[in-house]
Amino acid sequence: MAIRSLRLIGDELLAKKSRRVDKIDERILAILEDMADTMYESNGIGLAAVQVGILRSLIVADIGEGIMKLINAEIISREGEESSIEACLSVPGYQGVVIRPEKIVVSYTDENGQSIVLEAQGPLKRVLCHEIDHLDGILYNQIAESFYEATLQAEGEELDESEELGEGEEPEDLEGLEGVEAHGGAGAAQAESGEAVSSADGPGAENASDGELGSDSAEAL
Ligand SMILES: [Zn+2]
C-alpha cells in the first residue's frame, strides 16, 4: 500500500493511450490498491492509472458508496446529454463544464476477474466518463465548454502553479484564463474544499447560482 505521485498537466504521459490488461496478477492488484490509497489521500473520487504514471487500463472510483476497481473499462452505449462540472487531480486549481451523456453503459472486469456490465447515471457516470477519457489520453479541459480557475484552493495551495504549468506542453490551455469568472461564484468556492466531495446537497449547493447544472460541486477525478 503506497501513495503514488500524481502526473500533472503538461506531462506527456497523460496524452497517451493506456493498454488493456490481459492478466489480473499480483502486480495489477497492488497497483489498484495504491491507486485507491492515492485517490483517498488526494480527496479525489476517481483516478486512472495513467495519473500515477502507469499506462494500463485501470480505474478506481468511490462516489461515497465504497471503492470500485475497474479493469479494461469501456463505454458500450451512451444516451442523452448533460452538463457536468468537473475537476481533475492532474489539473490542480481548475475546473470546467463538460457535456457528457446523461446515461452510459460500461463494461469492465472487476479485480476478481468477473465481467460486469453496468448502467451509470449521475455522479458515477460523470466519474466513469472522465476516467475512461484518461485511458484514451484525453484531459477534460480539452473537451470542456468552459475551463477556469477554481476560486478557492484546496489545502491552501497558491494559484501561481499555473505559471509553472504554462511552460509545459499545453500552455495555450492555461494561458488567457485571466478574467474568466469562476462559474457559480460562492457555490464553486464551496465545492473546491475537500469537504464537499461527497455531499452534493451541502451548503455549497444552496449558494449555487446556476441551477441548471445541478450540483455545483467539482470533485477531483
Ligand atoms: Zn482526471
Distance between Cα 60 and ligand 1 center (Å): 11
Whether residue 5 is contained in a domain is answered as no
Q: What is the pLDDT of residue 220?
A: 87
Give the domain extent around 52. Answer: 12-213
Q: Total structural domains in the chain? A: 1
65 is catalytic: no
Whether residue 190 is contained in a domain is answered as yes
CB 41 within 8 A of CB 3: yes
Active-site option among 131, 149, 192, 219: 131
Q: What is the pLDDT of residue 151?
A: 78
Give me the amino acid identity at 165.
L
Whether residue 219 is contained in a domain is answered as no
Q: Which band of pLDDT confidence, cut at 50, 70 and 90, is reported for residue 198? A: very low
Q: Which residues share a beta bridge with 69?
A: 60
What does 59-99 look like in DSSP terms, one character per residue? Answer: EEE-SSS--EEEEEEEEEEEES-EEEEEEETTEEEEEEEEE
Here the cell at position 87 is 475537476
Whether residue 6 is contained in a domain is answered as no
Q: What is the pLDDT of residue 179?
A: 38
**Spatial separation of the C-alpha atoms in residues 199 and 11, rounded to whole Å:** 31
Q: What is the pLDDT of residue 217?
A: 63
Over residues 183-204, mean pLDDT: 38
Whether residue 32 is contained in a domain is answered as yes
Whether residue 56 is contained in a domain is answered as yes
The phi-psi region of residue 32 (left if phi > 0; otherwise alpha if psi is between -120 and 50; otherwise beta) is: alpha
Distance between Cα 70 and ligand 1 center (Å): 15
> Per-residue pLDDT tens for 109-167?
999 999 999 999 999 999 999 999 999 999 999 999 999 998 754 444 444 444 334 34
Whether residue 2 is contained in a domain is answered as no
Distance between Cα 50 and ligand 1 center (Å): 10
| pLDDT of 170 higher than 80 | no
- Rounded to the nearest integer, the mean pLDDT of the chain is 80
Q: Which of 200, 61, 159 is nearest to 118 (CA)?
A: 61
> Per-residue pLDDT tens for 68-79?
999 999 999 999
213 three-class SS: helix
**Spatial separation of the C-alpha atoms in residues 165 and 53, rounded to whole Å:** 18
**Spatial separation of the C-alpha atoms in residues 166 and 162, rounded to whole Å:** 6
CB 190 within 8 A of CB 196: yes
Q: What is the pTM of this model?
A: 0.72
Distance between Cα 7 and ligand 1 center (Å): 10
Q: What is the pLDDT of residue 152?
A: 54
Over residues 189-205, mean pLDDT: 38
Whether residue 218 is contained in a domain is answered as no
| pLDDT of 57 higher than 60 | yes
What CATH number is attached to the domain comprising 47? 3.90.45.10
Distance between Cα 129 and ligand 1 center (Å): 10
Here the cell at position 143 is 473537451
Which burial class, exposed, middle or buried, applies to 184 when counting CB atoms under 10 A from its CB (0-12, 13-18, 19+)?
A: buried
Distance between Cα 182 and ligand 1 center (Å): 19
